[in-house]
């Protein structure tokens, strides 16, 4: 667990912690608000309990089952794929994802991961900026990979980096 104090003087503290099944309902809520096709509470609980998935959250103090942001990665041998990262509406634009992803990559490295892969929609500027900032390199794209809520399709950008 590590503690983040906001640099702009807020007294609010956030801590990074491994997720637990009791967080599943909040995760499903954040996910549904973030993506066209949300994952439900049951799916979230199953992923948290899966030993191959590294699941980390960012929590406000006194809120042990209600993360403000979370990230999930599937690990196979020395490779991992970031399955999803999302920040709740109220915490967007406050660099919560920077701290969370930094912690998550450290956790992946600690369990022996050497290469991390991900896919991101080509128009998702905040996410692309976040991954660029962390040194992820674009390795390809998949046209029409994502189905948008309006029925149109969007290209996925493939990225990876070594730890
Ligand atoms: C993507 C997401 C996780 C970023 O989380 P966040 O904590 O709100 O983002 P941050 O405040 O840390 O901003 C990340 C970076 O993107 C930049 N950014 C934010 N909005 C941006 C925009 N519209 N265009 C370009 N850059 C942008 C920020 O300035 C910051 O970079 P900096 O630190 O160099 O200034 C968040 O927007 C989210 O949950 N989105 C919905 C889910 C999603 O799309 N997840 C990614 C799926 S691959």
What pLDDT is attached to residue 9?
A: 41
Distance CA 111, CA 93 (A): 30
Structural domain includes residue 146: no
Structure confidence at residue 160 (pLDDT)? 98
Residue 135 has pLDDT above 80, yes or no: yes
The total number of structural domains that make up the chain: 1
For residue 79, the domain's CATH number is: 3.40.630.30
In a domain, 19, yes or no: yes
Find the 124 Cα to ligand 1 centroid distance in Å: 8
State the pLDDT at residue 1. Answer: 52
- Residue at 126 is within a domain: no
Task: Indicate if ligand 1 lies below 6 Å from the C-beta of 4.
Answer: no
C-alpha atoms less than 13 angstroms from C-alpha of 67 in its C-beta half-sphere: 30
Q: Please give the residue range of the domain that contains residue 55.
A: 2-115
* The predicted structure's pLDDT at residue 12: 62
Q: What percent of the chain has pLDDT over 90?
A: 81
Is 145 domain-assigned?
Answer: no
Instruction: For residue 45, tell me if it sits in a domain.
Output: yes
Q: What is the per-residue pLDDT across 38-94, written as a single tens digit (0 to 9) for each?
A: 899 999 999 999 999 999 999 998 788 999 999 999 999 999 999 999 999 999 999
Whole-angstrom distance, CA of residue 95 vs CA of residue 103: 13
Residue 11 has pLDDT above 50, yes or no: no
**Residue 112 confidence (pLDDT):** 98
Ligand 1 centroid–CA 55 distance in Å is: 19
Q: How far is the CA of 163 from the centre of ligand 1 (A)?
A: 21
The question of whether 131 is a catalytic residue gets the answer yes
- Is there a domain that residue 58 lies in? yes
Cα-to-chain-centroid distance, residue 109:
16
Q: For residue 97, give the ligand 1 atom closest to its CA.
A: 7
What mean pLDDT comes out for the span 115-143?
A: 97
Pocket mutation for ligand 1, best pick of 6, 27, 126 (most atoms within 8 Å of C-beta): 126
Residue 135 domain-assigned (yes or no): no
Q: Which of 89, 130, 141 to mutate to test the pocket of ligand 1 (most atoms within 8 A of CB)?
A: 130
Phi, psi of 98 (to 5 degrees): -60, -50
Average pLDDT, the chain: 92
Q: List Cβ neighbours of 145 (8 Å cut-off, separation of 6 or more).
A: 119, 153, 154, 155, 156
């Amino acid at each position: 667990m590590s503690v983040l104090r906001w640099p702009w003087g807020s007294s609010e503290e956030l801590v990074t912690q491994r997720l637990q099944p009791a967080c599943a309902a909040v995760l499903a809520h954040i996910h549904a608000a973030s993506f066209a096709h949300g994952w439900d509470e049951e799916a979230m609980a199953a992923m948290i309990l899966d030993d191959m998935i590294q699941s980390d959250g960012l929590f406000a103090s006194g809120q042990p089952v209600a993360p403000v942001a979370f990230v999930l990665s599937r690990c196979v041998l020395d490779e991992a794929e970031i399955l999803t990262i999302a920040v709740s509406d109220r915490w967007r634009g406050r660099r919560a994802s920077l701290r969370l992803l930094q912690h998550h990559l450290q956790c992946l490295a600690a369990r022996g991961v050497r290469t991390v892969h991900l896919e991101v929609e080509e128009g998702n500027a905040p996410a692309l900026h976040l991954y660029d900032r962390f040194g992820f390199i674009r390795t390809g794209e998949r046209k029409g990979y994502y189905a948008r809520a309006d029925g149109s399709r969007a290209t996925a950008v493939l990225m990876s980096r070594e730890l």
